[in-house]
Structure formats: C-alpha cells, structure tokens
C-alpha cells in the first residue's frame, strides 16, 4: 500500500480515495495500529492539485477516470483551476 500526503498542514484525519470506494476497507485496516491517533474518516471524493498538471490518463483508464470526474466534485475543482477544458481535449495543462 502507498499513500500520498499532498494537502493540509495539520494532523492526518483521513484520506481521499479519488472515487475508489473499494480501497476504504484496506485503508481502515492499515490504520488499526495507529487508531489511538484518530478518529479517521475516509472520503471517496476526488481531489485535484498541482502534482497532476500536465498529466493525461492513459487511454485504457479513460473510462474509469471519466466516472470519477463525473461521480465526484472533481469536475468542479478542475473547472475552478482552469484544468477541465484541457482535460476534455485530452491534453494536460500548459505551464
């Protein structure tokens, strides 16, 4: 299991799964040894951020990405960061 810590500056209270409901049980199990530092709450919401700029998903994963974009608040976040039109056009954000 891998984790990415990219947002926030305070203690960890949970993880965003970027639309992956299926990984929440695994995250919960991984947090059992540190349960005393919780409570922890996982969110299936997707997040956009600076690390994703310039990256376009590989074609085999496009349908899964589309489902995440449409099934979470990611579309609105991408629009707010002016990333959505480039994403729809199949290109990453230009610097």
Q: Is the peptide bond before 8 cis (omega within 30 degrees of 0)?
A: no
* Residue 37 and residue 54 in one domain: no
pLDDT in tens, the chain (95 residues): 666 666 666 778 888 887 788 889 999 999 999 999 989 999 887 766 544 444 444 454 677 778 888 888 888 888 898 888 888 887 765 54
pLDDT of residue 35: 92
Do residues 60 and 39 both lie within one domain?
A: no
In DSSP terms, 74 is beta-bridged to none
Q: Token pair for residue 47?
A: 């997040």
27 and 62: one domain?
no
Whether 3 is in a domain gets the answer no
**pTM exceeds 0.85, yes or no:** no
The CB-based long-range contact list for 88-92 (8 Å cut-off, 24+ gap) reads 90/56, 91/56, 92/53, 92/54, 92/55, 92/56
In a shared domain, residues 68 and 92: yes
Residue 22 domain-assigned? yes
Domain ranges, residue 53: 48-95
């Amino acid at each position: 299991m891998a984790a990415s810590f990219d947002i926030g500056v305070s203690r960890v209270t949970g993880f965003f799964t970027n639309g992956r409901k299926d990984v929440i049980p695994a995250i919960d199990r991984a947090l059992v040894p540190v349960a005393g530092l919780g409570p922890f709450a996982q969110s299936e919401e997707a997040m956009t951020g600076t690390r994703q700029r310039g990256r376009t998903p590989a074609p085999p994963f496009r349908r899964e990405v589309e489902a995440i974009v449409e099934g979470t608040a990611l579309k609105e976040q991408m629009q707010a960061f002016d990333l959505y039109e480039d994403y729809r056009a199949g290109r990453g954000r230009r610097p």
